[in-house]
Structure 1
Amino acid sequence: MSASTTPDQAADKAGRDENAASDPEGERAHFGYREVAAAEKAPLVQGLFQSVAGRYDLMNDLMSGGIHRLWKSTMIDWLDPRPGLHLLDTAGGTGDIALRVWERLGARAGDDQADENLGSGRASSCITVCDLTPGMLAVGRDRALDRGILGGIAWVCGDAECLPLPDSSVNAYTIAFGLRNVTHIDQALREARRVLKPGGRFLCLEFSRVVVPLFSDLYDRYSFKVLPAMGAAVAGDRDAYVYLAESIRRFPPQEDLAAMMAAAGLSQVRFRNLSGGIAALHSGWRI
């Protein structure tokens, strides 16, 4: 075992290696509606987001009509950041969640200067942004610098299924619109629990299953017709937004994800539908 590998990570890796060895054809995974070798999915996801990194935030605004901002605000309301927060924001490359949390910590401390990092809420807190894609992290770092944020937020390239953090090292874990892109959702959930301290909170904001039947057909047409065309015109990558629509349909519905969270060892699991189930916010705790 290497010095950077924890016992929990070693056990999970051994289990995955054993499963792969028992499958002579190799493990498979879904990349949207395509089936690929499991080992190929992460590089495909990384390449996709590297391609759209520069226009990722703009596309989020355009394709959601800005509603994603309200969803993220709801997520941060649930998180309720307080002084002493040690947050891991996974798949958070462009920094949208991290920067919002940082601003909330400053406001809580009465420090409303966007270019100051000396408020008590910030001085006692730290945020780690972990993302698989270097290009996304570069955008996030640039956004932080543009706001005068020179410390308090670390930008780390890493995989949600094998986080580069010690056991029980953070008291909050967030992942927004990233969980559906991992190869093994169950493994990512176990990793989230591993890095959380006892009493730490897990929050996942993700596209989900529409719960308003009359709205479902309209949403499908928008997802599979409008979004790819918008992606081609704005981000120069139609395929990335075809994948987006397909990956949403492949993602477990609300109740199934809640069950997976519980199976990974998270407690007091609950979820809230947003905008009729277009997105859902899931919460759990490490007890």
Structure 2
Amino acid sequence: MSEHHENGEQSQALVPTTHFGYQEVPETEKEQLVKGVFSSVASKYDLMNDLMSLGVHRLWKRFTVDLARPRPGQRVLDLAGGTGDLAAAIHPRVRPNGSIVVSDINAEMLAVGESRLADKGIIAGVEFVEANAEALPFPDREFDIVTLAFGIRNMTHPERALSEIYRVLKTGGRALILEFSHPRWPGLQSIYDLYSFNLLPRIGELIAKDRESYQYLVESIRRFPDQETFKVMMEDAGLARVEVFNLSGGIVALHRGFRMD
């Protein structure tokens, strides 16, 4: 083997990779690939959520807001806030003198969210910021509450996002992370697999005209750590008193942790 060929193999091996669904891709490419997925589905994202979960995602989000316990005057950050579901529910609870920042890495998703909230008259005390959750443009100890629903599994380095969440929380502040997880009820996993791998991409093809994006979303759910593993990740980032709430038999889990220092 030539020296040139050996060097080429070595340099290729040194390129860090990560998963994009079931594919292995260079870390540097995942962010753009994920952006492409959500740019493609932004206009149909809420409709697809209703269809895929039979509307139950609204109950999961309501439970998240109730457990966040936002109060008047508090400042809240909704990461991967996309189309504004959580922001719309939180906003009246922090007003009249509180505020909420909706942050997302995807401009198309933010545009849909801003339009939706404006249509509901939710304008005062709301800010939309295009940002990467792994490097947030906010000061330390800025927020009383950080929420993140169905976004962390799409991040290249979720541990960096968790560290950033910890950094921007005030002492006593809380983080609530809602994400698809691993079913806990006996027999539920096989039913869930049948539904998600066969029906969800088909629904994506029919409604959003994008089978590939929903195939990725299904695969990304399977690659995400289980409840206990993710709990440890939150603790490693500095969050304390981390609790896990399994919803719908563990199909979805809500993790809540606090910054105590």
Bin for the TM-score computed over the shorter chain: over 0.9
| Correspondence for 2:41 among 52, 70, 75 | 52
Q: CA RMSD in A?
A: 1.2
Per-residue CA deviation, residues 199-239 of structure 1 (Å, 9 max, x unaligned), is: 11000000000111311111001110000000000011101
Displacement of 1:24 in angstroms is: 6.1
TM normalised by structure 1 equals 0.85
Query: In the alignment, residue 204 of structure 1 is paired with which amino acid?
Result: I
CA distance in 1, matches of 2:126, 2:50: 24
Structure-2 separation of matches of 1:254 and 1:215: 16
The within-5 A match list for 1:101-116 is: 101-103=90-92, 105=93
2:211 — aligned with what?
238
CA distance in 2, matches of 1:33, 1:56: 22
CA-to-aligned-CA distance 1:42-66 (integer Å, 9 cap, x gap): 1110111000000000000000000
- Quote the residue 2:228 is aligned against: 255
Letter in 2 for 1:254: Q
**Alignment match, 2:151:** 178
Residues 106-185 of structure 1: pairs in structure 2 closer than 5 A: 121-185=94-158
2:188 paired residue number = 215
1:68 maps to 2:53:
no
TM-score (normalised: structure 2): 0.94
Amino acid at match of 2:77: L
Q: Which residue of 1 aligns with 2:77?
A: 88
Q: Could you tell me which amino acid in structure 2 is paired with residue 198 of structure 1?
A: T
Whether 1:279 and 2:228 are equivalent positions in the alignment is no
Counting only pairs closer than 5 Å after superposition, residues 182-201 of structure 1 correspond to structure 2 as: 182-201=155-174
- Matches of 2:243 and 2:12 in 1, distance apart? 35
Aligned partner of 2:4 in structure 1 is none
Query: Any unmatched runs of 5+ in structure 1?
Result: 1-21, 106-120
The Cα of 1:26 is off from its aligned counterpart by 1.6
Contact 2:181 2:224 (8 Å CA) reproduced: yes
- Indicate conservation of the 8 Å contact 2:88/2:122, yes or no: no
Provide the C-alpha distance between the structure 2 equivalents of 1:262 and 1:64, rounded to a whole number of angstroms.
30
Provide the residue aligned with 2:176 in structure 1: 203
Q: Name the stretch that deviates more: 124-133 or 147-156.
A: 147-156
Distance in 2, Cα, partners of 1:125 & 1:273:
30
Give me the whole-angstrom Cα distance separating, in 2, the residues matched to 1:67 and 1:34: 29
One-letter code aligned to 2:70: P
Instruction: Tell me whether 1:79 sits opposite 2:68 in the alignment.
Output: yes
Residues in 2 aligned to 1:92 and 1:264: alpha-carbon distance in whole angstroms? 21
* Secondary structure at the counterpart of residue 48 of structure 1: helix
- Number of paired residues? 250
Q: Aligned residue for 2:19?
A: 30
Residue identity (%): 52
